[in-house]
Amino acid sequence: MPTVPDSKLPRIAFAGTPEFAARALDALATFDCDIPLVLTQPDRPAGRGMKLMPSPVKQRALAHGLPVAQPETLKTPELRAPLLEAAPDLLVVVAYGLLLPRSVLDIPRLGCINIHASLLPRWRGAAPIHRAIEAGDVRTGITLMQMDEGLDTGPMLAERALDILPADTTGSLHDRLAECGARLLIDTLPALLAGRIQPVPQPAEGACYAAKISRGEAQLDFARPAGELERAIRAFDPFPGAVMTMQGVAIKLWRAQAIERTGEPGRIVEVSDRGVVIGCGSGCLRVTEMQKAGGKRLAVADFLRGHAFEAGQQAQLPVR
Residue 2 clears pLDDT 50, i.e. is over it: no
**What is the distance in angstroms between the CA of the first residue and the CA of the last residue of the chain?**
58
Residue 237, CA atoms < 13 Å, CB-side half-sphere? 21
Residue 166 clears pLDDT 70, i.e. is over it: yes
What is the separation of C-alpha 130 from the centre of its chain, rounded to a whole number of angstroms?
7
Ranges of each domain in the chain: 12-210, 215-316
Q: pLDDT digit string (tens) for 60-112?
A: 999 999 999 999 999 999 999 999 999 999 999 999 998 899 999 999 999 99
Amino acid 216: pLDDT: 86
**What number does CATH give the domain 12-210?**
3.40.50.170
Classified by CATH at the fold level, domain 215-316 comes out as: Methionyl-tRNA Fmet Formyltransferase; Chain A, domain 2 (3.10.25)
Where do the DSSP E strands lie in the chain? Answer: 12-16, 38-39, 44-46, 51-53, 68-69, 90-94, 112-116, 124-125, 139-146, 156-163, 209-210, 242-246, 249-259, 268-272, 275-279, 284-292, 298-299, 315-316
Q: Are 17 and 95 in contact (CB under 8 A)?
A: yes
Residues 34 and 66: their CA atoms lie apart, in Å, by 10
How is 33-62 classified by DSSP, letter by letter? SB---EE-PPPEEETTTTEEE--HHHHHHH
Cα-based distances in Å from 56 to 63, 168, 265: 11, 23, 41
3-state secondary structure 289-305: EEEECCCCCEEHHHHHH
The phi and psi torsions of 227 (rounded to 5 degrees) equal -60, -40
pTM: 0.93
Amino acid 170: pLDDT: 98
Determine the Cα angle at 128 with ends 190 and 215, to 5°: 140
What is the separation of C-alpha 227 from the centre of its chain, rounded to a whole number of angstroms?
22
What's the residue count for the chain?
A: 320
Q: pLDDT digit string (tens) for 204-248?
A: 899 999 999 988 899 999 999 999 999 999 999 999 999 999 988
DSSP helix/strand/coil, 216:
helix
